[in-house]
Amino acid sequence: MTGEELKNLLECHKSWLTHIQGGERANLRGANLRGADLWGADLQGADLRGADLWGANLRGADLWGADLQGADLRGANLRRANLRGANLRRANLRGANLRGANLRRANLRGANLRRADLRGANLWGADLRGANLWGADLQDANLWGANLRGADLQGADLDFACLPLWCGGQFKADNKICKQLVAHVVRIMELSGIDEPDLITAMNEYKKGWHREQEF
């Protein structure tokens, strides 16, 4: 797709969004948009299923409710993009920049987010079942109400992240994350006066050397 063709398609989509006669929903299903500059583009509700967006610039783009199922977004720049309610099921977001992105109630089931930058991202109520978040940076991310059942968070950075405390919050972790969680449980038990000295001793032994031990 040429730059001119893409420009015309976006204009037509804009007309569709604003109910102007002649407007048409953007159909970019399977389109080759590798490396495309879509900075700030309005793609609300667009059909991008299976599209090749490898390395594309979608910074600040509005993809509210867009269908990106199976799309290739490896290394794409989605910083501060609006992906609220978007369908990203089985999408490949490996190494993508999603810093500060709005992924509220997005469908990320089975998505590949390996080593993705999700710092400060809003994942409130997102469906992350079976997602690969290995090595992802989730510092300051909001995962409140997110479904992480079966997700792989091994090697991920969860410092200062908001995690869900419910059945959907069961995910695969590594020793680093487990020690971090145990450290917080021990502190809560101590502050609450829970009289389980043997258990607390065992938990303290396990969490020795966790990465924020000196400042906790």
Tell me, yes or no, whether 189 lies in a domain: yes
pTM: 0.91
Tell me, yes or no, whether 133 lies in a domain: no
pLDDT confidence of residue 108: 98
Q: Specify the DSSP element, H or E, that contains 188.
A: helix 175-191
Total domains in the chain come to: 1
Residue 214 has pLDDT above 90, yes or no: no
pLDDT digit string (tens) for 28-50?
999 999 999 999 999 999 999 99
Tell me, yes or no, whether 100 lies in a domain: no
List the structure tokens of 188: 């809560």
pLDDT tier at 167, thresholds 50, 70, 90: confident
Tell me, yes or no, whether 190 lies in a domain: yes
Containing structural domain, residue 206: 178-215
Residue 169 has pLDDT above 90, yes or no: no
Tell me, yes or no, whether 207 lies in a domain: yes
Tell me, yes or no, whether 210 lies in a domain: yes
Q: Point out the least confidently predicted range of 64-68, 125-129, 165-169.
A: 165-169
Q: From 114, 110, 117, 78, select the one nearest 91 (Cα to Cα).
A: 110
Tell me, yes or no, whether 32 lies in a domain: no
Average pLDDT, integer, range 135-153: 97
pLDDT confidence of residue 165: 82
Tell me, yes or no, whether 199 lies in a domain: yes
pLDDT tier at 85, thresholds 50, 70, 90: very high
pLDDT tier at 77, thresholds 50, 70, 90: very high
